[in-house]
Structure 1
């Protein structure tokens, strides 16, 4: 949708109160030229700010955290956000530079642009984040001919991301028991996508796109190369394995001498990092394993907003 000049006059009044955040996960972290090209595409529009970037070479996966505003029409419906075109520009750069058939890494993935998650910030609503998620899903499906699966608030029934991933075989390594290499599935998908074709380009794979309240990403290193032990601990910590509610986990190889429990805290204000850390340490001790202090891979929502305001102010000065 073309930008309505009348919206431009409203920008300064909504920057601090109606913001949307996008976490964009790209299946690449080893080719610096590719990452530079993706990042340049993300900086073309000064109204969108890349507030954080987290590459993991072992996982061969990079997450970009983007923020911008959302504009409404006279009825109060969301009609425009600079994030939409910025995400598409970064996706275009990624699809042009990354071939999933040649990709390998220790983190599961099903696509070059593997996951796009939108969060409301400040006074923005989840409905606004879902609107943008669905708009971007349509764009990705149509423009790049990539199958897209919607999840959480962007899905008509709120279908969970991990449910869709499980249906598509996301969690099953296809190389050496702990790595994901190339395209691991048939070209005909077992589940019909919400947008885009039902057949898959092996070079591009598929994309997951969703909207939900803030999710915290917290990783806990285990000082052991035994990925089966890490997976056992991860399973026991997770809600699915009877552990902590609203916590999802993966036990993954990360580096030559360690593994890691990658945690997704779906309600971090209810079940936070300290509780997850304590649980992992307790279970690891039972296995005779040492654990390092975990780390967040992204800022808190408050820090994301603060960094956005600083960066956007610097751009305008």
Structure 2
């Protein structure tokens, strides 16, 4: 059987409590053809929703015809209309109404193809919607990383007490120059970060504690940055009363997967005198994403 030429777009929006807003965002997908929502992950504590879109790729990118880009743009536009960043709050860091978009090649698709889509979407978001847009991964000429942009824009620092992020940025002036769009930010919209990378898994492990300092130590020690597991990024996030999650990006899940992260977090938590719960993935695996698209029959999937 021939392997498919597919691309995946993971699109994260800073809203999950306003159901009317989500309906309007998802309606944008139904009005266009080609790309499908394969997974939807909502978290009301984080006040964040992640959509996984998949489509076949066109044979000729130079025509500018790409349903995945068109659907992603429509969702971004709908989100900016439906959600006011100044009114948003949650325990997950974010930079804008549409916080993060990443494209991944699937099947026999190439990184060059998803890079083209990412850059094309960034141009449209920046110019047509007038939102400062930053590129990372293969979409950036120098391969800038997602976490370096986030650190430069203050993503990891809560802007209020209680480890909660509330409202938009404090200033219209950005500490970094965007790759597309205006150099100043509309406080009701924030900024968008768009990238193209190989597949990334997201795996979160709950720790039953209120000791943020200790869980931050665990997150640092489990991450490559802190000398822990290679290709793992991690941060500590409040997730309900009495629980803090070690939220991990697995940049090379075929080498270091959720099982290894689970074991290491449990070990580190035990050393701190804490108990770690069973972790969970926020999306399907790459293989399941492909199979779900190929087996897709209905016009919508609810999770």
Correspondence 1:111 to 2:106: no
Calculate the TM-score normalised by the size of structure 2.
0.95
1:238 counterpart residue number: 223
Which of 18, 21, 27 pairs up with 1:40?
A: 27
Whole-Å separation in 1 of the counterparts to 2:62 and 2:110: 11
String of CA shifts for 1:51-78, please: whole Å, max 9, x gaps.
Answer: 00001111111000000011123xx868
1:12-27 to 2 correspondences below 5 Å? 17-27=4-14
| Kept after mapping to 1: 8 A contact 2:169/2:190 | no
Secondary structure of 1:201's counterpart equals: coil
Correspondence 1:304 to 2:289: yes
2:234 counterpart residue number: 249
2:208 counterpart residue number: 223
1:4 counterpart residue number: none
Q: Runs of 5+ in structure 1 lacking a partner?
A: 1-12
Correspondence 1:150 to 2:145: no
1:189 counterpart residue number: 174
Secondary structure of 2:226's counterpart equals: coil
| Kept after mapping to 2: 8 A contact 1:71/1:79 | no
Whole-Å separation in 1 of the counterparts to 2:229 and 2:139: 25
1:62 counterpart residue number: 49
Whole-Å separation in 2 of the counterparts to 1:102 and 1:95: 13
Would you say how many aligned residue pairs link Structure 1 and Structure 2? 299
String of CA shifts for 1:182-206, please: whole Å, max 9, x gaps.
Answer: 1234211111100000000000000
1:269-288 to 2 correspondences below 5 Å? 269-288=254-273
Calculate the TM-score normalised by the size of structure 1.
0.91
Secondary structure of 2:237's counterpart equals: strand
Whole-Å separation in 2 of the counterparts to 1:245 and 1:306: 28
String of CA shifts for 1:109-140, please: whole Å, max 9, x gaps.
Answer: 01001100000000100110100000000010
Secondary structure of 1:20's counterpart equals: strand
Question: Deviation of residue 85 (structure 1)?
Answer: 1.1
Which of 276, 291, 309 pairs up with 2:276?
A: 291
Whole-Å separation in 1 of the counterparts to 2:215 and 2:24: 35
| Kept after mapping to 2: 8 A contact 1:72/1:80 | no
More off after superposition, 270-279 vs 117-126 = 270-279
Whole-Å separation in 2 of the counterparts to 1:78 and 1:118: 19
1:10 counterpart residue number: none
CA RMSD of aligned residues (A): 1.6
Runs of 4+, deviation exceeding 6 Å: none
Secondary structure of 1:80's counterpart equals: coil
Question: Deviation of residue 227 (structure 1)?
Answer: 2.3
Question: Deviation of residue 219 (structure 1)?
Answer: 0.6
| Kept after mapping to 1: 8 A contact 2:133/2:192 | yes
Structure-2 change in CA distance of 1:314 and 1:253 (3 Å):
closer
Whole-Å separation in 2 of the counterparts to 1:177 and 1:236: 23
Whole-Å separation in 1 of the counterparts to 2:170 and 2:63: 37
Secondary structure of 1:72's counterpart equals: coil
Question: Deviation of residue 214 (structure 1)?
Answer: 0.1
Correspondence 1:168 to 2:153: yes
Correspondence 1:91 to 2:69: no
| Kept after mapping to 2: 8 A contact 1:101/1:181 | yes
Question: Deviation of residue 226 (structure 1)?
Answer: 2.2
Secondary structure of 2:295's counterpart equals: helix
Question: Deviation of residue 279 (structure 1)?
Answer: 0.8
| Kept after mapping to 2: 8 A contact 1:70/1:79 | no
